[in-house]
């Protein structure tokens, strides 16, 4: 396969319209005028530097800028590794002409906004991947081809693969799109875009992704040196109904368990957005809760959804100017709703407003909240639903891209928490936070069930985003190359309990083994009083093998998935730390399992 330059295009933002301007491009270095903007391209052997400048007398809104290539000498079927947008977004392999982008099936705009850089539906027949992709075809001896963006904190990078549109040249087309999300560019200003790289001709898929991630991590200052994490979290046993009594009961039980971190999840807060006040179910304040956990010899951890605000929260009532706006035709229609969770209530049946992370006072508020919870005794923060600032809307600074809005919020939280705090991203657009978080969730939520049937799909096309252990397994294998290159991977919690669950013992073991081989964080989220000696033995096995795999990742060899492009759901994971796993993703059984003594 060869990438042959074809065109450069720009999608502008003009009111409610998005005109597309295109110019032919043969791969030369140069400046290309498209209406009011000029795109400058500097082409190297495997890396293209580029920028966009506003040549008009007034500000210009830009939805996206793209380099368009033909994929020549390719033999169908073309397989595309689709890296999902954020933590929970499905990541696996799709086939051009067979699979579809879920946005073409699902009509729920909030869900599209959460799982794609561009929340508008994709074109018919189009496949897309965020930040990076690997392409492969069926030509004998043909090497896979990686295409990716060398960054993600200034704008998103989306790779769009479509069937050929020229009847005389039916080769597929790949669009490397710098997604700016309608950000305005002032007259005379230049925006530097993230370099586009491509690499092929030798190494396998995992090696290509590792090399790319290593380069990204090095250039962005990735925080990859935190200790291997073992901990307990309240979520998957108690969910929103957790009480202080539940917490303290498990803290007492934890004396017999090897946890470093003890994390309180969603349910302790007075309201979404009012993070410094506890609910009626938690008589103690944050300092008292942290003191109890620290007194038991554990590191206190706390959950926040820092960019969401309940409509009836104190912060929303006192500071309506901190909220992002919903604009229609340039008219302000009120606060922007960026998520929906009925269990949170909030005054609008679970709809949550989004904090405007371009507003200086809102950023000061985030910095204050992070500093306050760390001062209260919580140096470990799980930051959830953090895609919120990426949703299309009206923001105080219209010149910031969705990526910059997310990053600004995270930077404020890091400033407040301090450099020594451990920040775990969740529900986060992954490209935006390299160098600011210590760990990231890299898959959907697990659940006390292995898989879901099609009849359980809530929104067409988005079944893979729903909580199920099989979905977490797919992403754990598909994103194993991120571990210790970009951050510590958090596969999500183990499921150890044998009661109050529909997850069979073999499936629970398969999932535990996948977490172990990945080398990612080992977290438990069960009522510890329900666990027996078998559960403890399984956790001990996960920790021993996980530490060995994590040590290998520290040396530059994270666990590898050898069948990443072989089908829709990968099944194999291998670590030089001493373990190999082959699963049946459909049933949750282990087909092959081998270990060496990690000592």
Q: Which residues are catalytic?
A: 384, 445
Token pair for 535: 């559960």
CB count within 10 Å of CB 422 equals: 21
Burial environment of residue 124 by CB neighbours within 10 A (0 to 12, 13 to 18, 19 or more): exposed
Beta strands in 44-172 (DSSP E): 47-54, 60-72, 79-82, 92-95, 127-130, 132-136, 145-149, 156-162
Give the three-state DSSP class for 225.
coil
Residues 6+ apart with CB under 8 A from 64: 10, 11, 118, 158, 177, 178, 179, 180
Asked if residue 335 lies in contact with residue 311, where contact means CB atoms within 8 angstroms, the answer is yes
C-alpha span between 522 and 546 (Å, rounded) = 8
Smallest CA-to-CA distance from 106 within 97, 98, 116 is with 116
Asked if residue 274 lies in contact with residue 313, where contact means CB atoms within 8 angstroms, the answer is yes
According to DSSP, the β-strands at 299-304 and 261-264 are parallel
Bridge partners of 522?
230
C-alpha span between 471 and 473 (Å, rounded) = 5
- 478 φ/ψ sector (left φ>0, alpha ψ -120 to 50, else beta): alpha
Smallest CA-to-CA distance from 395 within 306, 322, 328, 307 is with 322
In the β-sheet with 92-95, what is the strand arrangement from edge to edge? 30-34, 37-43, 47-54, 190-200, 145-149, 132-136, 79-82, 92-95
Backbone angles phi, psi at 244, to 5 degrees: -60, -35
Bridge partners of 446?
none
C-alpha span between 309 and 364 (Å, rounded) = 15
According to DSSP, the β-strands at 261-264 and 331-335 are unpaired
């Amino acid at each position: 396969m060869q990438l042959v330059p074809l065109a450069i295009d720009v999608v502008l933002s003009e009111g409610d319209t998005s005109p597309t301007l295109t110019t032919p491009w043969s791969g030369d270095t140069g400046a290309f005028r498209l209406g009011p903007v000029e795109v400058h391209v500097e082409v190297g052997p495997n890396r293209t530097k580029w920028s966009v400048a506003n040549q008009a007398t007034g500000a210009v809104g830009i939805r996206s800028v793209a380099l368009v290539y033909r994929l020549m000498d390719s033999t169908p079927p073309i397989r595309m590794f689709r890296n999902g947008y954020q933590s929970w977004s499905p990541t696996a392999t799709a086939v051009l002409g067979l699979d579809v982008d879920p946005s073409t099936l699902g009509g729920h705009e909030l869900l599209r906004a959460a799982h794609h850089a561009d929340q508008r539906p994709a074109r018919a027949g189009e496949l897309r991947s965020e930040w990076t992709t690997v392409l492969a075809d069926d030509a004998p001896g043909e090497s896979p081809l990686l295409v990716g963006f060398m960054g993600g904190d200034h704008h998103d990078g989306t790779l769009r693969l479509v069937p050929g549109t020229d009847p005389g040249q039916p080769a597929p087309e790949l669009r490397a799109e710098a997604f700016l999300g309608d950000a305005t560019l002032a007259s005379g200003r230049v925006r530097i875009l993230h370099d586009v790289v491509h690499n092929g001709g030798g190494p396998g898929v995992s090696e290509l992704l590792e090399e790319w991630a290593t380069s990204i991590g090095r250039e962005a200052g990735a925080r990859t040196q935190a200790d291997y994490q073992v901990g307990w979290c309240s979520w998957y046993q108690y969910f929103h109904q957790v009480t202080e009594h539940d917490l303290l009961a498990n803290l007492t039980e934890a004396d017999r368990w090897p946890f470093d971190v003890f994390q309180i999840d969603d349910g302790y807060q007075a309201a979404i957005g009012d993070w410094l006040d506890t609910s009626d179910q938690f008589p103690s304040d944050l300092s008292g809760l942290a003191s109890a956990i620290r007194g038991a010899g554990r590191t206190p951890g706390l959950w926040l959804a820092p960019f969401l605000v309940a409509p009836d929260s104190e912060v929303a009532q006192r500071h309506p100017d901190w909220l992002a706006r919903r604009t229609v035709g340039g008219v302000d229609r009120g606060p922007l709703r960026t998520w929906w969770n009925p269990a949170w209530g909030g005054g609008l049946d679970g709809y949550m407003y989004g904090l405007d992370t371009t507003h200086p006072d809102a950023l000061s508020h985030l910095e204050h909240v992070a500093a306050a919870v760390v001062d209260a005794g919580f140096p470990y923060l799980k930051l959830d639903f953090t895609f919120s600032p990426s949703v299309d809307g009206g923001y105080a600074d219209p010149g910031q891209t969705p990526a910059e809005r997310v990053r600004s919020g995270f930077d404020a939280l890091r400033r407040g928490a301090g450099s020594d705090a451990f920040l775990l991203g969740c529900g986060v657009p992954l490209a935006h936070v390299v160098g600011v978080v210590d760990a990231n969730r890299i898959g959907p939520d697990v659940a006390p069930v292995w898989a879901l049937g099609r009849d359980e799909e809530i929104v067409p096309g988005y079944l893979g985003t729903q909580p199920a252990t099989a979905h977490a397994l797919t992403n754990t294998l598909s994103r194993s190359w991120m571990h210790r290159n970009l951050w510590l991977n958090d596969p999500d919690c183990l499921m150890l309990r044998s009661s109050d669950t529909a997850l069979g013992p073999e499936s629970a073991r398969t999932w535990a083994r996948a977490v172990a081989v990945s080398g990612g964080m080992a977290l438990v989220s069960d009522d510890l009083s329900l666990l027996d000696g078998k559960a403890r033995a399984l956790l001990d096995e996960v920790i021993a093998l996980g530490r060995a795999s994590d040590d290998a990742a520290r040396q530059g060899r994270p666990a590898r998935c050898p069948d990443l492009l072989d089908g829709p759901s990968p099944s194999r994971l291998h670590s030089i730390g001493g373990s190999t796993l082959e699963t049946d993703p459909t049933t949750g059984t282990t087909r092959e399992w081998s270990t060496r003594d990690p000592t």
